[in-house]
Chains A and B, each alone.
Chain A
Amino acid sequence: MSEPIIELNNLKKYFAINNGVLAKNSYVKAVDDVTLTVNKGEIMGLVGESGSGKTTLARVILNLTKPTDSHVTFDGVNLSKATRKEMKKFRTEVAVVFQDPASNLNPRDTVMGSITRPLILHGMSKKEADKKALEALEQVKMDSRYLNSYPHQLSGGQLQRIAIARALVLDPKVMILDEPTSALDISVQAQILNLLLDLQENLGLTYLVITHDLNVIRYISDRIAVMYLGKLVELGTTEEVIDNPKHPYTMGLMAASPILNPHERNREKHLMQGDPGSLINLPTGCHFHPRCPYATERCKKEVPKDIIFPDGHQVNCFLYDEKNKTTSEYTG
């Protein structure tokens, strides 16, 4: 069942910063040489802090912005070379739900208007679209009386459900969810997470869930990808990444992440020093070296390559050796 649906190979997205007429342009390397595959039917969690580039990566995958180097392959189609017809099809096959339920929907449109818009855009008649909108509301377990409401009249949880309903209405294969529950209360978050899991099972969807909340990602994902300052530093199954992180950044992230069990509060924690860093003033060599407890001279000068272990676990770090593919000795 490991059929890839999204394939990225050495994907780059740089934003040029104009340094004036005389100086050379510098670059914000929001996505820097990222290799990643999302398989059909899986839930891939993408985790990273601010400035990690995770939202930019999502936007490149959605073709909302063009890659600087390499391309996105979706279901076998190279998006950079897609025909008009292929692009139109793509637009029905990927849906997105962004953070902040309040602004996911056009404030001037009713719920009905927002949900039926994609259908009408793709040629459905108003009557059919209305019917489909009702079905979509049922799928997200919302009452049909909300069809004529405006976004400002609804709560965060309700808005999120409607955003999901709208995303589902074109029968997509993939849903990209950017911080789907960050703005929600715990009880509402539980409802939305349950809903997302039910939908995924019933409709055979593939999810890319982007969040900074490690508890949510551990709960919902099959595999986890960790980003830091534009780089994909680690990729593996949920159990592997959470229980057995290989990259020092992932280790630091796990250490810093609050555990929902007070009995574990006195565990030994090696907290990361420093701030997450900025994409504008990137360090040389490995982007993480200024904060890394295992950094060597090599890390300051060279950029690590992706090392892929036999079980598919991927790390971007000099601690791991291409030939041996086992952990080399380090002091710690």
Chain B
Amino acid sequence: MNEELLKLNKLCVDYKVKGGYLSAVKNVSFSINKGEIFAIVGESGCGKSTIAHSILHLLPEHNEVIKGNIYFKGSDINQFTEKQLEGIRGRDIGMIFQNPLDSLNPVYTTGFQVAEGIMLDNVSKIDAWNRVVQLFKDVKMPDAEKRAESYPHELSGGMRQRVMIAMMLARMPELLIADEPTTALDVTIEAQILNIIKELRDKHNTAVMLITHNFGLVAEVADMVAVMYAGEVVEQGTVYDIFDNPKHPYTTLLMKALPRKTKKEGRLQTIGGSVPRLTENKPGCRFENRCPYAMDVCKNQDPAEYNVTDSHTYSCHLGKEVK
């Protein structure tokens, strides 16, 4: 049950620009077990979406360099050829994105598009179609048969996202990467989609990498959480570790910036300055210029990782003081 499925080891993604490299992701390491919902959470520009796309080499630009190891079931897929990656995309690792309308072809019915994937595994047309209808029922699509014969533009946002999930489920991947899957959806639909994701975990033991900026989602479904800032994982642990006992200054401040109360209980915590864009690759803590606890050492030395418990770690020079 708790077998390791995906392990990132010092993953770095740099973009080549005139005069050098810009670092989008730096030394990210974490692992996801089977049947675990792992949330990567952070504000815009933190690199969470870059990580998701680089696992399957789906980054759109052509000037990126991906270093480090991405172990999937023991093999380092960062070294895979394009052909090998095609083999695992969809089958072993599935991915759904923020705006399902962008991922669906407007001129084919949704059922056809899902069946296409199934037929890649040498399944007959009739069998594939039956499977499609069953999948639509599994994702609680109302009027499954009718929807399978509909075109993407005839469906609402929530239904389209269900189609995407069905498409991903069709080949039963062990890991589902969901990049902001509910950002474009209404609250009630979001709740339904989250339920489907939880059922995937419960019934099929699917692991889910959930990329989001919405802490509410994280609180509702995540088992493990990694908090990212400016391309680095600053803290990771169980969802209870992060919410109840945040250690990194960024996590702590962010938790206090969440509107968890009414205004009568006081103003929200703010963090001075603004979220940085891509940074140069130089030593030192990337949160230093906004951190209320910054010390001299933070400017020029990379912080080390400290353990609070076996599952809960964070990278901050303050950790040294605690010891």
Contacts and interface: CB of A to CB of B under 8 A. Distances in A.
Interface of A: 49-50, 155, 157, 185-191, 193-194, 197, 212, 214-216, 218-220, 238-239, 252-253, 255-265, 269, 271-276
Contact of B243 (A188, A261, A271): A261
Nearest to A272: B188
B218 to A, nearest CB: 8
6 contacts: A49-B187, A49-B188, A155-B274, A258-B220, A261-B260, A269-B191
A261 B219 contact: yes
Given A187-B254, A252-B188, A219 B43 contact: no
A190 B221 CA distance: 24
Contacts of B217: 258
Contacts of B216: 215, 257-260
B20 interface: no
Contacts of B195: 271
Contacts of A218: 259, 261-262
Contacts of A238: 262
A257 B259 contact: no
Contact of B271 (A187, A216, A253): A187
B181 interface: no
A256 B269 contact: no
B3 to A, nearest CB: 24
Question: B interface, how many residues as a size bin?
Answer: 35 or more
A153 B159 CA distance: 37
A227 to B, nearest CB: 13
Given A238-B262, A275-B158, A275-B159, A194 B270 contact: yes
A186 B213 contact: yes
B192 A271 contact: yes
Counting chain A CB atoms within 10 Å of each CB, the highest count among B142, B188, B218, B240 belongs to B188
Given A49-B187, A155-B274, A219-B261, 10 more contacts: A185-B213, A187-B257, A189-B257, A220-B259, A252-B188, A253-B187, A258-B219, A262-B222, A263-B240, A276-B189
B220 A212 contact: no
Given A49-B186, A188-B274, A265-B219, A215 B262 contact: no
Given A193-B259, A215-B258, A260-B258, A186 B187 contact: no
Nearest to A212: B187
Given A186-B43, A258-B217, A262-B219, A219 B239 contact: no
B161 to A, nearest CB: 11
Contacts of B291: none
A260 B260 contact: yes
Contacts of B263: 197, 219-220
Contacts of B187: 49, 212, 214, 253, 256-257
B262 A259 contact: no
Counting chain B CB atoms within 10 Å of each CB, the highest count among A212, A238, A253, A256 belongs to A256
Given A190-B268, A257-B216, A259-B216, A265 B189 contact: no
B205 to A, nearest CB: 20
Interface in B251-294: 253-254, 257-263, 267-271, 274-275
Contact of B239 (A49, A252, A262): A262
Contacts of A193: 259, 268
B112 interface: no
Contacts of B262: 218-219, 238-239
B43 A256 contact: no
A189 B253 CA distance: 13
A274 B186 CA distance: 12
A34 to B, nearest CB: 20
A258 B214 CA distance: 9
Interface string B233-260: 0000001100100000000011001111
Nearest to B44: A185
A187 B243 contact: no
Contacts of B243: 260-262
B301 interface: no
Counting chain B CB atoms within 10 Å of each CB, the highest count among A50, A186, A190, A272 belongs to A186
B156 A275 contact: yes
B15 interface: no
Contacts of A191: 270
